[in-house]
Structure 1
Amino acid sequence: MTSTLDPAALDAEPGGPGALSIALVSEHASPLATLGGVDAGGQNVHVACLAGALADRGHRVTVYTRRDSPGLPVRVPLCAGVEVHHVPAGPPEQIPKDELLPHMPEFGRYLARTWRGALPDVVHSHFWMSGLAALRATRELGLPLLHTYHALGTVKRRHQQVADSSPPQRIALETELGHGCDRIIATCRDEVAELGRMGIPATKTGIVPCGVDTELFTPRGPAAPRGAHRHQVLQLGRLVPRKGAAVSIAALALLPETELLVVGGPSADRLDEDAEVRRLRALARKAGVEDRVRFTGGVPSAQVPALLRAADVVLCPADYEPFGIVPLEAMACGRPVVASAVGGQLDTVADPVAGRLVEPGDPEALARAVLELLGDRALREACGAAGRRRVLRRYGWGQVAAATEAAYCEVLDALPRVTGVGAV
């Protein structure tokens, strides 16, 4: 059966199993990247925070990511115990992640050459193309490999259909990777079910959720200035159609005296050039709510907690969401969440305790749930407090790192240790 590693049940003290040399492979999502671009988001944060939290537990962590600029040094310290290693695979320039597959064999060969000189104890790859590169190298060297998908091609194809820009062989390669690695670390129950439909045995899968920085995202601290409207609802994240901002705009027509703040996308000075912003503004004009929708553009991560604290309700109406970090950030700030009942949000947003779950793509259902919360301040405060408690209990990076460490140790305990290079 599927192994579910509950972070709250694990010993969070560092150094329990002894220090490990850990290789995290994240081919397109560098922990050093500036967030807000099309391919820079939750995975970058996840890899950076997981690496730091594992180092806090006494481990030595190296993150391997593709060199996408000619001026990057080979090795860059990230924090105490963590180093970023830039891998020369393909031209040293920005390349959309869906075009990186031809460069993964080169990435894998580089990993094998590098690791041959000093073997890591365990390899943990993030995203399917990272997994392909890591699978090649770990098979050559006889190293244990754990993998986190972060998103699955079957889900993307189901929802985006002809708009799916992934390589056509993605699903077949993801399936091969699932059979070839030693353990899959899924982030939610919905992902486990999807992997089962792909034919990957549940015995290979454990669940460790994504995490949130509970010291940065907290109810304490300043709130951003609000507009003149009585209520404010907020949507935060990349500005791509699947995130459901169009649903929030349609729902706004049913929410009197309420402003919708949309945070994310290009910088504020480039909003007028963005095709998705233009589409959403046209929808707002058609719905008669243009004067109540405000786009901030992308903002530095340090400003996000204040924006969340200023909101009465945080909206997460994505069509699909492999996990979804924003609900955790909102809950950590003590804000109630109304989210679509998809993916990881089914696990994180406890309805009715911490917020509400609604059907995706349904503006009327979204508006009803938001109206209930806007009409009852005490209910909003109770949901926010419950969400904060839930995050502290389950989703802090200390708990997530402890659960990830436990998964590493389960794999290491089940495999013969490598005593020489070249084992298969």
Structure 2
Amino acid sequence: MTLYGSLDERSGGFRYDRRLVEELRAGGDAVEVVELPWRSYPCGLLDNGSRRLRDRLDVDVDVMVQDELAHPSLVRTNRHLPYPIVSIVHHLRASERRRLAPLYRAVERRYLDTVDAVVCTSTVTRDVVTGLGVDGDATVVAPPAGDRFDPAIGATTIHERAHEDPLRIVFVGNVTPRKGLDSLMTGLAAADTDAELTVVGRALDEDYVAGVRRTVAERGLTDRVRFAGELSDADLAATLQASHVLAVPSHYEGFGIVYLEGMSFGLPAIASRAGGATDIVTDGETGLLVDPDVPTSIARAIETLAGDRDRLAEMGQAARHRYERHPDWGETTARVRQLLESVAATAEVTK
């Protein structure tokens, strides 16, 4: 497997890659991991002329799995590699609202032209990938499992917690503009309720974080918002256990494993209509879908959950049931392995 950075990083995409490697190895497959240094987009594109990179990727494998995040360094390099390639697409850069989105779309389209098949983590991602020209028969949807915590929590606990005041909201994710924390703060301030918010996650954009903190101060939210930073798994589990609602109104998520992890604790989600969250969150049943660009829609969602605690309890129980129905890592890995075996077999026949 080829990827940027370290397989040990904590974001959802890296947890997916890491767990997939572990499951494939546990099933008897030999998996070699090639970790490439993080690159800016321009420097990544320049890597395609690097003989050193080609030599590093000259490994003896039946099939190479690549995390699509590393596509800048691979878009032309792939054409010189001697083995079939399967790409894991968590979400495409071109799907995000970026000034250079047309450039990213063009580069990602060319990158996908160099691979033999694609693993998509959601149906929405598959739709985007096929929209860029990938044959649908060369794709598989293999969502991540959300069993990072797998707590034992029953209907009675969910019901009793739902009737505690005030409403406790938790945001979990890297603090970047894409995650929509600024809209969540504005929505919280506009909501006619005294709900509290805990923000869990690493600050990756200091200017953005400073702007969010200014909003907190200006909107009089200082006593109702806590910035917890990064937490250990144990502390995060305790925070989720004590919360009522998970709110991450991202501008785009390829899948959004955090929603599923919240559901394992019986937390309905306030999630974005954009991206893969719609694979997990059923509006009005396991959470509420909002427009991240319209803070008033977030405010209405908060008011709805704070004002009807019986409904909050019902949605929490539905969220837990949705988590329990979700594919586990065994099923996800089986889908990926079947695709890898098919690609390898086809490559062998055509030699």
Q: Quickly name the TM-score band, shorter chain normalised.
A: 0.7 to 0.9
CA contact (8 A) 2:66 2:86 kept: yes
The answer to whether the aligner puts 1:172 opposite 2:106 as a matched pair is yes
Between the aligned partners of 2:68 and 2:152, the Cα distance in structure 1 is 32
Between the aligned partners of 2:131 and 2:180, the Cα distance in structure 1 is 26
Distance verdict in 2 for CA 1:360–1:413, change over 3 Å: same
What is aligned with 2:85? 145
Write out aligned runs for 1:47-196 (5 A).
Answer: 47-66=17-36, 95-96=39-40, 99-103=43-47, 105=50, 106-112=52-58, 115=59, 119-130=60-71, 133=74, 136=77, 140-141=81-82, 143-156=83-96, 159-161=97-99, 170-196=104-130
DSSP 3-state at the match of 2:4: coil
Between the aligned partners of 1:135 and 1:123, the Cα distance in structure 2 is 15
Between the aligned partners of 1:390 and 1:328, the Cα distance in structure 2 is 8
What is aligned with 1:11? none
What is aligned with 1:6? none
Spell out, residue by residue over 1:211-232, the C-alpha distance to the aligned partner (whole angstroms, 9 max, x if none). 3235x24254999xxxx96221
CA contact (8 A) 1:131 1:147 kept: no
Spell out, residue by residue over 1:337-382, the C-alpha distance to the aligned partner (whole angstroms, 9 max, x if none). 1101111101111223211112222222122222222233333333
The answer to whether the aligner puts 1:245 opposite 2:181 as a matched pair is yes
Aligned length: 341
Distance verdict in 2 for CA 1:101–1:392, change over 3 Å: farther
Between the aligned partners of 1:170 and 1:362, the Cα distance in structure 2 is 26
CA contact (8 A) 1:245 1:317 kept: yes
CA contact (8 A) 1:135 1:145 kept: no
CA contact (8 A) 1:229 1:259 kept: no
**1:403 to partner: Cα distance:** 1.5
What is aligned with 1:9? none
DSSP 3-state at the match of 1:60: coil
**1:279 to partner: Cα distance:** 0.7
CA contact (8 A) 2:89 2:125 kept: no
The answer to whether the aligner puts 1:319 opposite 2:268 as a matched pair is no
What's the % identity of the aligned pairs?
A: 26
What is aligned with 1:90? none
Distance verdict in 2 for CA 1:402–1:200, change over 3 Å: closer
Between the aligned partners of 2:241 and 2:248, the Cα distance in structure 1 is 16
Note the aligned Cα RMSD (angstroms).
Answer: 3.0
Distance verdict in 2 for CA 1:61–1:255, change over 3 Å: farther
Between the aligned partners of 1:317 and 1:343, the Cα distance in structure 2 is 11
What residue identity is the alignment partner of 2:330?
G
Distance verdict in 2 for CA 1:357–1:316, change over 3 Å: same
Between the aligned partners of 2:22 and 2:130, the Cα distance in structure 1 is 31
Corresponding residue to 2:337 among 405, 420, 424: 405
CA contact (8 A) 1:309 1:333 kept: yes
Gaps of 5+ in 1: 1-23, 36-40, 69-93, 268-272
CA contact (8 A) 1:183 1:205 kept: yes
CA contact (8 A) 1:320 1:342 kept: yes
Write out aligned runs for 1:383-394 (5 A).
Answer: 383-394=315-326
Between the aligned partners of 2:25 and 2:226, the Cα distance in structure 1 is 40
CA contact (8 A) 1:242 1:319 kept: yes
CA contact (8 A) 2:86 2:117 kept: yes
**1:169 to partner: Cα distance:** 5.2
Between the aligned partners of 1:252 and 1:301, the Cα distance in structure 2 is 26
Corresponding residue to 1:260 among 185, 197, 217: 197
Distance verdict in 2 for CA 1:390–1:56, change over 3 Å: farther
DSSP 3-state at the match of 1:61: coil
Distance verdict in 2 for CA 1:98–1:283, change over 3 Å: farther
**1:255 to partner: Cα distance:** 4.2
- Which is helix-richer, 1 or 2? 2
DSSP 3-state at the match of 2:175: coil
Between the aligned partners of 2:141 and 2:316, the Cα distance in structure 1 is 25
The answer to whether the aligner puts 1:218 opposite 2:164 as a matched pair is no
Between the aligned partners of 1:337 and 1:27, the Cα distance in structure 2 is 30
Between the aligned partners of 2:333 and 2:137, the Cα distance in structure 1 is 21
Spell out, residue by residue over 1:89-140, the C-alpha distance to the aligned partner (whole angstroms, 9 max, x if none). xxxxx6556643333543332111xx2xxx3222111024358549746854
**1:399 to partner: Cα distance:** 2.1
DSSP 3-state at the match of 2:24: helix
What residue identity is the alignment partner of 2:88?
T
What residue identity is the alignment partner of 2:144?
C
CA contact (8 A) 2:260 2:280 kept: yes
Corresponding residue to 1:231 among 158, 167, 176: 167
Distance verdict in 2 for CA 1:148–1:303, change over 3 Å: same
CA contact (8 A) 1:107 1:133 kept: no
CA contact (8 A) 1:125 1:146 kept: yes
Between the aligned partners of 1:285 and 1:111, the Cα distance in structure 2 is 50
What residue identity is the alignment partner of 1:145?
I
What is aligned with 2:161? none
The answer to whether the aligner puts 1:371 opposite 2:292 as a matched pair is no
What residue identity is the alignment partner of 1:362?
V
CA contact (8 A) 2:188 2:302 kept: no
**1:320 to partner: Cα distance:** 1.5
